[in-house]
Each structure stands twice: as C-alpha cells, then as structure tokens.
Amino acid sequence: MTPRKRTAPRGPSGLAPPPPEWLADISLPIDEIQAGQVLHRVHRSSLAPIFFGPGSNVPPTNRFDSASGRFGVLYAGLTLRSALAETLVRSPQRLTVAMTDIIGRSVFGLVSDRPMRIVRLYGSGLQTVGTDNSISTGPYEPCGLWSDALWDHSDRPDGLAYQSRHDSTEICFAIFERADLRLKAEGTHALSSMLRDVAAVLDSYGKSVSPPLLSGEMRNCPPNETKN
C-alpha cells in the first residue's frame, strides 16, 4: 500500500508563538535570585565583561535581544557548565572545540547588589505565560517580542530564565537592562588558566580540544575554584 502524500508539514513548525494579548493581565511566574548570588558568564577577554547587547544601532543578534531595541540584554548561566555549554558547544555534530575558541575567552562570577526578579520561562512557567519550549530551541524571531512584552509588564521583571538549547538540564538567564540594576564582576579567570576544568566539561559532552592538550599543559593547570 502506497502512503498518501501529506498536504501539510508533519508536527509543529518549531517556531514559538508570539506573546498572547492576555499576557499583560496575568501575574508572571517569577523566581528571585538573591543579592550576591553568583551567576556565571563567559566573554571575550578583549571586551568588557558586563555588556548589555547587542549595542547601539545594532540589530537583534542573540535569542532574547529586544526586538524594539529599547533596552540591552546580558546573558549568563546558572552554573559554570551552562556558561561554557552556551559558548563552546554550539555545534552538536562537531566533536572538537578549537583551542583558539578557548584562549580568547574569560569567565567570571556575576552578582547583583539587589535581588533580581526573573521570569521562569521553562517548566510550568511556559504554559503560564502562553508558550512552549520552542522559545528556547526554535528560531530567534519571536523571542525578542517576548523580551519586550516581559520588560513592559507591570510586574517589572529583571529578566528571564530559560533552558539551554545545547543542554536541556542547564538553566540560562537573559537579564534586562534596567536603570536600578547594578551588576558587578567577581573572580575573573582566563579560560586558558583553567584548561583542566574546561576539558572536563567538554569531555562530558563527548568533545575534545583541538589541537589536543599536552600532558604538561594539564599538569601546569591547577583546578579552578569557581563552583558549578
């Protein structure tokens, strides 16, 4: 028996829906990050560690960049592992990570001087606000609309939490630029100074560094004290 041809694509499109009209009328699912709690951010060592992108007169670039461009967004991970995954393992079918991608970057602890109120855009929070997990895994286009809608909400959240597309067990943050939010960097380390830690994370994802680390490089790299 010959199967009939489908007239429509099978399954969902993978595109998150735009924010519903009723979003402004509900109480958002908000979790609080305490003042002083350490988040983790990887950045290019040649650039300032704290940066709300994409920058003046630059179109939206990353997933939750504001569609309107009215405010900047800073990205961080709940753990060192999530910060490294979002930066270094973005190509799932590549089995190696270039050493040049590692040595040009640093990691630091990101802390706020006041509690941050973060929208839970994963788990039960997805249905509460009217979306699904394609907000974390699908095309970027709707995501900036969600940032704008949440930034405008009367609950005045400081950002949103979402699942990493590269490791669904890890939580990442898109933090909104707000006039009363002060962030600071603590304990900056060049990734080249913590190759043992980086290599261990990559190995857990089935990846290795290219060119391979020499045994001497591993011996001379003490375990880093950054907690993950």
Mean pLDDT, residues 135-141 taken together = 97
For residue 220, is it within any domain?
Answer: no
This prediction has a pTM of: 0.89
Residues paired with 43 in a beta bridge: 106
Would residue 14 count as lying in a domain? no
Tally of domains in the chain: 1
Span 87-112, pLDDT tens digits: 999 999 999 999 999 999 999 999 99
Question: Residue 117: inside a domain, yes or no?
Answer: yes
Average pLDDT of every residue of the chain: 92
Over pLDDT 90: what percentage of the chain?
A: 85
Bridge partners of 190?
106
At residue 133, the pLDDT reads: 97
Residue span of the structural domain in which 158 resides: 32-95+104-192
Note whether residue 184 is domain-resident: yes
Does a structural domain hold residue 129?
yes
**What is the DSSP pairing of strand 116-120 with strand 159-163?**
parallel
In terms of Cβ atoms closer than 10 Å to its own Cβ (0-12, 13-18, 19+), residue 193 is middle
Q: What does the pLDDT look like over 161-200, one tens digit per residue?
A: 999 999 999 999 999 999 999 999 999 999 999 999 999 9
Q: Could you tell me if residue 137 is inside a domain?
A: yes
Q: Considering the domain boundaries, does residue 3 fall inside one?
A: no
Instruction: Say how many C-beta atoms besides its own lie within 10 A of residue 140's C-beta.
Output: 15
**What is the per-residue pLDDT across 53-84, written as a single tens digit (0 to 9) for each?**
999 999 999 999 999 999 999 999 999 999 99
Please report whether residue 47 resides in a domain: yes
